[in-house]
């Protein structure tokens, strides 16, 4: 069961998003709980964590950027999606690691593609890999906690929120096993979790506000295209 929240001060758009969600879940045999409100404070006061949140940006009481930031503080694994007519908020949304950025009115085809990837992210965040730490002990690492995988001097290193680990598997194996809905390859030596991108330029990205990863010249166009698709541009 996936917990979904919708917050928009326009009731018409809440109903439209709900209609799209209901249709997608019905067609795919999935179930969900829905919480909807025109006031972001209602979401903050809700006792449940949300797996996916659809937020407008310009709202009274609390704007969508502040709301998204506070919801992520409660549940860092929540998939955040903005639906707004104001594209100039894209940079602020990226700072939060937003998964999608949809314009108004809603484009059904783009919405369903984005929702499919969002659901896939929720379903795959708990997958665990077993890796060796520096003491050669074995540690279970969740897929969602992996920031990037790197090959250096013929050795594969996995960097997570909790530390760095060695892997005996090849970089090719990691490309096959990681969820393609939110892992991307900006360089042949790296696989990055796009949820942790905090800065993007044509030749470099920053992950988790601390790791700088190059984008290979041959991959710039492809990476830019896939990244823009990921955030809904």
Quick one: pLDDT at residue 91? Answer: 55
Residues of the chain above pLDDT 90, percent = 41
β-pairing verdict for 204-207 and 211-214: antiparallel
Among residues 124, 140, 171, the one where a domain terminates is: 124
Answer for the pair 174, 142: CB distance below 8 angstroms, yes or no.
no
DSSP E strand boundaries for the chain: 2-7, 32-37, 52-55, 79-83, 100-102, 128-132, 138-142, 146-152, 155-160, 163-167, 183-187, 190-193, 197-200, 204-207, 211-214
Average pLDDT, the chain: 85
Among residues 101, 124, 147, the one where a domain terminates is: 124
36 phi and psi angles, rounded to 5 deg: -135, 145
83 forms beta bridges with 102
Tokens 């009274």 sit at which residue? 60
Instruction: Show the domain range for 97.
Output: 2-124
Quick one: pLDDT at residue 14? Answer: 94
Cβ contacts of residue 131 below 8 Å, gap of 6+? 138, 139, 141, 158, 165, 166, 167
The neighbour count for residue 150, using CB atoms within 10 Å, is 20
Per-position b or e across 12-42, b if 16+ CB within 10 A of its CB: ebbebbeebbeebbeeeeeeeebebbbebee
Among residues 68, 102, 124, the one where a domain terminates is: 124
pLDDT digits (tens, 9 = 90+) for 195-220: 899 999 999 999 999 999 999 999 99
CATH code where residue 16 lies: 3.40.50.2300
Answer for the pair 223, 215: CB distance below 8 angstroms, yes or no.
yes
CATH code where residue 155 lies: 2.40.50.1020
Q: Residues 162, 208: one domain?
A: yes
**Taking Cα atoms as reference points, which of 179, 175, 150 lies closest to residue 79?**
179
Which has more confidence, 58 or 67?
Answer: 67
75 phi and psi angles, rounded to 5 deg: -145, 90
The number of domains in the chain is: 2
Answer for the pair 206, 148: CB distance below 8 angstroms, yes or no.
no
Q: Is the pLDDT of residue 21 over 90?
A: yes
Q: Compute the residue count for the chain.
A: 233
Q: Residues 45, 80: one domain?
A: yes
Which has more confidence, 158 or 96?
Answer: 158
């Amino acid at each position: 069961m996936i917990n979904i929240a919708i917050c928009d001060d326009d009731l018409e758009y809440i109903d439209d998003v709900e209609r799209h969600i209901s249709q997608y879940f019905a067609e795919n045999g999935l179930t969900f709980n829905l919480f909807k409100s025109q006031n972001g404070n209602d979401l903050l006061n809700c006792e449940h964590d949300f797996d996916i949140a659809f937020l407008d940006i310009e709202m009274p009481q609390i704007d969508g950027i502040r709301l998204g930031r506070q919801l992520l503080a409660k549940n860092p694994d929540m998939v955040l999606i903005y639906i707004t007519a104001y594209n100039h908020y894209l940079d602020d949304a990226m700072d939060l690691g937003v998964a999608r950025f949809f314009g108004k009115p809603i484009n059904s085809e783009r919405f369903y593609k984005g929702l499919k990837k969002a659901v896939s992210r929720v379903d795959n965040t708990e997958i665990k890999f077993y890796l060796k730490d520096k003491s050669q002990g074995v540690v279970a690492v969740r897929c969602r906690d992996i920031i990037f995988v790197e090959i250096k001097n013929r050795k594969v290193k996995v960097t997570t929120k909790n530390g760095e680990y060695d892997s005996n598997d090849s970089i090719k194996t990691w490309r096959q096993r990681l969820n393609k809905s939110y892992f991307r390859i900006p360089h042949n030596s790296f696989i990055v979790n796009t949820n942790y991108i905090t800065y993007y330029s044509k030749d470099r990205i920053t992950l988790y506000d601390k790791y700088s990863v190059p984008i290979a010249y041959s991959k710039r166009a492809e990476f830019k295209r896939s990244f823009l698709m990921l955030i809904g541009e």
